[in-house]
Structure 1
């Protein structure tokens, strides 16, 4: 690794941030307490090198990378997280520019593996994906089970408890359009398979089954749903004002 090239360490957990700083101490390191601070630091560097957590307030690690890559596609990121949720892997796949070097490592790895990932991304210019993440990555890219952006949109709304009519209004769709997206989502999640059909209304609520399966796959989680809840509240507020 170029000893003169600083590494930005972004993590809102001070214990984790201090741990990685201690492990990589011989190198030039710049700590950031959140994604917003890291984004500001990246603005002052021609080719940022960043080790970042994923789940952070305000700007998460994936969004941080996406914003930096918009103007600096050669920036290198190593995502260091305790989560391998499909929603993050999916969002990352959509954000990575062609030929960009990046890595994804779980926090439960040993120091040796962490150093190996750091060296791969920042010294050897090689992508490094944690073996724990690869199956999730493969599923997210599989045609028969990968969720489209439009399907993910209605999944979030269903998880927030919106009706078909509310989803249609929020996204300027017809009710039939919402139902078509839901049907496709149910099939990809397996919500209406496993021996059941949509007619088995006395056995299973397909809508709730879809949310349960999405949680199991890591397509949604409580942390990100809280952010979506804030967006929903803003929409409801503006809707009330417009109708008043």
Structure 2
């Protein structure tokens, strides 16, 4: 059973999401929050598998709540709920560690599937969206801090480059002619060594390190 926390300042939205997810049969909404401060408290109290987080909430907004939740539990899987996909705050949330985002008026089955994918730790961003996230992240960040790749294996670097192109684990497995479980192992090891929370951050690092070109194709397969 996938345990979900729903954080949104609108009671009607929370009720609708609860009804939708619990009807799926493999999910349970274990807590709700109407502002960011309550979301942080409920996340600590219930340690949900997935957190659905609105960004525009009173007292403490979603961006700050994401920062606090991930500071306390870096492995938390957070999906942003938003009204507008092009909201600049969405990209800020993704850079801070959110797995992806859902537009509130999207198809209901998309939310259900997104929660399942988030629970598995999968990337929720289409390649076109990932491209915008990477571009904005690279424009905003300080690139003077060196990246420590010496402790990554050649295969981990190769897999990291493919993550940077936006490929899923299954697509990487097909590209490298290995099993999906093997890919998951390499992705997890690379992220752990680099101190990354999710695949979006891994993609940004891959681009920053020059493993992926501006055309979103890998330019390096090893050291």
Normalising to structure 2: TM-score of the pair? 0.54
Change (3 A) 1:105 1:134: farther
Q: Once the 2 structures are TM-superposed, how far is the Cα of residue 148 of structure 1 from its aligned partner?
A: 5.8
Question: Do the aligned partners of 1:106 and 1:130 also contact (CA within 8 Å) in 2?
Answer: no
Distance 1:132 1:63 in 2: 26
Question: Do the aligned partners of 1:81 and 1:106 also contact (CA within 8 Å) in 2?
Answer: yes
Indicate which of 8, 13, 16 corresponds to 2:13: 16
Which structure exhibits the higher relative contact order, with contacts defined as CA atoms closer than 8 Å and separated by 6 or more residues? 2
Q: How many residues align?
A: 138
Q: Once the 2 structures are TM-superposed, how far is the Cα of residue 38 of structure 1 from its aligned partner?
A: 1.1
Distance 2:18 2:116 in 1: 15
Distance 1:85 1:120 in 2: 22
Question: Do the aligned partners of 1:7 and 1:48 also contact (CA within 8 Å) in 2?
Answer: yes
Question: Do the aligned partners of 2:5 and 2:48 also contact (CA within 8 Å) in 1?
Answer: no
In structure 2, the residue matched to 1:222 is none
Change (3 A) 1:103 1:94: closer
Q: Once the 2 structures are TM-superposed, how far is the Cα of residue 87 of structure 1 from its aligned partner?
A: 2.9
Deviations along 1:205-224, one digit per CA (max 9) or x if unpaired, are xxxxxxxxxxxxxxxxxxxx
Correspondence list, 1:157-236, <5 A: none
Q: Once the 2 structures are TM-superposed, how far is the Cα of residue 39 of structure 1 from its aligned partner?
A: 0.9
Normalising to structure 1: TM-score of the pair? 0.49
Task: Choose 1 or 2 for highest CA Rg.
Answer: 1
Distance 1:84 1:114 in 2: 14
| Cα root mean square deviation, aligned | 2.6
Change (3 A) 1:131 1:81: farther
Q: Structure 1 stretches of 5 or more lacking a match? A: 150-244
Deviations along 1:57-109, one digit per CA (max 9) or x if unpaired, are 1222222111111121011111121123453144224422xxxx722121221
Indicate which of 96, 105, 110 corresponds to 2:107: 110
Change (3 A) 1:121 1:48: closer
Q: Structure 2 stretches of 5 or more lacking a match? A: 143-223
Question: Do the aligned partners of 1:86 and 1:136 also contact (CA within 8 Å) in 2?
Answer: no
Deviations along 1:211-238, one digit per CA (max 9) or x if unpaired, are xxxxxxxxxxxxxxxxxxxxxxxxxxxx
Distance 2:100 2:65 in 1: 14
Question: Do the aligned partners of 1:105 and 1:130 also contact (CA within 8 Å) in 2?
Answer: no
Question: Do the aligned partners of 1:42 and 1:48 also contact (CA within 8 Å) in 2?
Answer: no
Change (3 A) 1:86 1:147: farther
Indicate which of 117, 121, 126 corresponds to 1:125: 121
Indicate which of 3, 7, 27 corresponds to 1:6: 3
Change (3 A) 1:117 1:54: same
Question: Do the aligned partners of 1:48 and 1:75 also contact (CA within 8 Å) in 2?
Answer: yes
Question: Do the aligned partners of 2:32 and 2:42 also contact (CA within 8 Å) in 1?
Answer: no
